Copies of this chain bind each other. A is one copy, B any other.
């Protein structure tokens, strides 16, 4: 089976209250694909970088088995650059710089080999790019989409077209409230699911994630961590783990979607333990299995030992 991830491959400069790094490997497709590759043998990346993107970074991504045939390199262009500074509790952040560079003209043409992907992950990009990709694939089993407040506010018509064509939307709680124009998250979820996606995941950072399905809601915890180093990319990593688990499932049903949320949460919990995607290069199946088990222990309600109500 196979996953196709469209998104950014970027340089990130990140400041937290405790440390800072400059021009490290980043981007939504980077995080998402690195998380997916622990679950799926075939993870394809469509993105764009400039001539300044180091061969060393390309080699590191290839070393994880990623298919980079669809990674366009524009020799005389510069790679997308993002700089941000996190607040004291690491829950909020300010964007300091966004240099789109080669991303400004990104108009992906998928290699022929990419078009039959089983699962398509549309990373957070201009909805017009997401639509163009939707027109190039041969009916994936599952289309997963991310977006952000910028597109919700500035390109609602195009975003609406995207939403009508995707199966699963993964956004955070603030974005969900903004997209639905509704503060109550249950009502917001109903509104958003009526826009197209049958499956809605609302990410709540340190408060976990909620999965909204037909007639049921699933609530996944976040792993309580004593040390969070850098939350950058946690949401993209979640999408990668979510898609990764589902690519292993011959049939994608509600139970597997719930398990996919746990896999996404587990991968995100690794992501935040180090700066950038470093941790995502170092995992093993054993470590991931252990982490998923930690999520179970965390939220499992013991069977009753005594008669209670």
A-to-B contact residues, CB < 8 Å: 38-39, 88-89, 183-187, 204, 206-208, 210, 216-221, 224-228, 245, 248-250, 255-256, 258-259, 262-263, 285, 288-289, 292, 295-302, 304-309
Contacts and interface: CB of A to CB of B under 8 A. Distances in A.
Nearest to A254: B302
Nearest to A183: B89
Nearest to A90: B183
Given A39-B308, A249-B306, A309-B289, A185 B301 contact: no
B219 A301 contact: no
A224 B228 CA distance: 27
> What is the oligomeric copy number?
2
Given A183-B89, A207-B208, A301-B262, A309 B255 contact: no
A301 B301 contact: no
A225 B309 CA distance: 22
B306 A256 contact: yes
A35 B53 CA distance: 61
A229 to B, nearest CB: 12
Contact of A298 (B217, B248, B256, B306): B217
A227 B182 CA distance: 12
Contacts of A299: 218-221, 299, 301
A188 to B, nearest CB: 10
Given A219-B221, A224-B186, A259 B304 contact: yes
B302 A255 contact: yes
Of all A-B residue pairs in the complex, the 8 with the closest CB atoms, nearest first, are A255-B302, A219-B221, A207-B207, A186-B226, A288-B309, A186-B224, A285-B309, A299-B299
A15 to B, nearest CB: 17
